[in-house]
Structure 1
Amino acid sequence: MPKKNKNLCVDDLRHAEYYGMQETFDELYQKSKNGEVFKNLMDLILSQNNILLAYRNIKANGGSYTAGTDKKNITDIGSKSPDEVVEKVRFIVTGSKHGYRPKSVRRKDIQKPNGKTRPLGIPCIWDRLIQQCIKQILEPICEAKFSNNSS
């Protein structure tokens, strides 16, 4: 794990062996395969290891350098310590009496080869991080329910 006073760095995160989350994902998959019902997933979603893995995963995506409506990108998160990132994600999700409310999405029209455009929605970077945290926990649960023949 990166040092406490050090800023987040993709090299530190890459070598952290996914923060031990693979075992958790495998366990979620197996429980889902066995038909178990899941409760209280928020503890897993907001776990330090899951949040830091989410940061690592979105950092690897080139689109993470594109700012949303708040004009921030992945480097704004990377300038914080791991503890600050975890604390901020937890506050965004649980700190408001109204619950989590994502910010508006920035619209950008992308040119297609045929000359037409398609709309692209660019969420704020903190919302992208939170979405990734949720995806990482829900994905193995959902994957276990899909047909072996689906692709």
Structure 2
Amino acid sequence: MSTTLRYAEYYDVPKLFDDLYQRSKNNATKGINLYKHIISKENILLAYRNIKANTGSKTEGTDGITIDHYKMENVGSFVDNIRNALVDYKPNTVRRVEIPKPNGKKRPLGIPTMRDRLIQQMFKQVLEPICEAKFYKYSYGFRPNRSTHHAMARCQFLMNRGGYSHVVDIDIQGFFDNVNHSKLLKQLYNIGVTDRKVLTIISKMLKAPIKGKGIPTKGTPQGGILSPLLSNVVLNYLD
């Protein structure tokens, strides 16, 4: 009997991620076939596991599908379908929702379909170690194993040991909605993501049509799994 996704084993891929991190640290990522790692069976199944563990897995995209749709699917078929979707990748239309902000305004969120969330998670898992190796040591937003508590501890340290007594609070208005796509792709290349096929697919992700809005020419929508990592690539130069 074939294995279904519900019973698929967790595939351990930290060794690959550690290797990518070290190679990025040593500026040795040029020429790596990142796409091969992204579409590996192990990385695809890990993406499924990570998505399934997130409460957002119950949130529907424009196609009405949640993670439950995949639970009883055959592992081989699931992996093949995801790989086939990337051969000539066309992202599905993004569902747009607005959530209230404390100031009374609304924050737009883009909810990709479950298939596209899985694909974004696959990309994130492979690209994150490369980017993490180059990110500024003292930035804390949207990063693994870091939180506001770490940022507060750093502030406390600077106050106690460094003699600092002032904090600057800056908000970049409409940041996510105004990211320049061309500059972002160049920044990804410069940080170590040099696989042209990967960059081409990310470019397509950025131009995923938004329901009721059309095809965006700038920005990386809040709500996308890859968006926080991409935003940190842009902001790393500011840090």
- TM-score class, shorter-chain normalisation, is 0.7 to 0.9
**1:28 aligned partner:** 20
Higher-RCO chain (CA-CA 8 Å, sequence separation at least 6): 1
List 4+ stretches of structure 1 deviating above 4 A: none
> 1:20-68: per-residue Cα shift (whole Å, max 9, x none)?
2101100000011011124321110000000000000011111111111
Please list every run of 5 or more consecutive structure 2 residues that lacks an aligned counterpart in the other structure: 141-239
> How many Å apart are 1:149 and its aligned residue?
2.6
* CA separation of 1:38 and 1:137: change in aligned 2, threshold 3 A: farther
> 1:82-140: per-residue Cα shift (whole Å, max 9, x none)?
2121111100001xxxx211011001122334443221111000000000000000000
CA–CA separation in structure 2 for the residues paired with 1:38 and 1:72: 37
Computing the radius of gyration from Cα coordinates, the structure with the larger value is: 2
TM-score normalised to structure 2 length: 0.55
CA–CA separation in structure 1 for the residues paired with 2:103 and 2:94: 26
Corresponding position: 1:48 with 2:37: no
CA–CA separation in structure 2 for the residues paired with 1:113 and 1:6: 47
> How many Å apart are 1:79 and its aligned residue?
2.5
CA–CA separation in structure 1 for the residues paired with 2:131 and 2:19: 13
Q: How does 1:131-150 map to 2 (within 5 A)?
A: 131-150=120-139
**2:115 aligned partner:** 126
Q: How does 1:88-127 map to 2 (within 5 A)?
A: 88-94=81-87, 99-127=88-116
**2:50 aligned partner:** 57
Q: How many aligned residue pairs are there?
A: 139
Aligned-residue identity in percent:
50
CA–CA separation in structure 1 for the residues paired with 2:19 and 2:40: 16
TM-score normalised to structure 1 length: 0.84
Corresponding position: 1:78 with 2:78: no
CA–CA separation in structure 2 for the residues paired with 1:149 and 1:111: 30
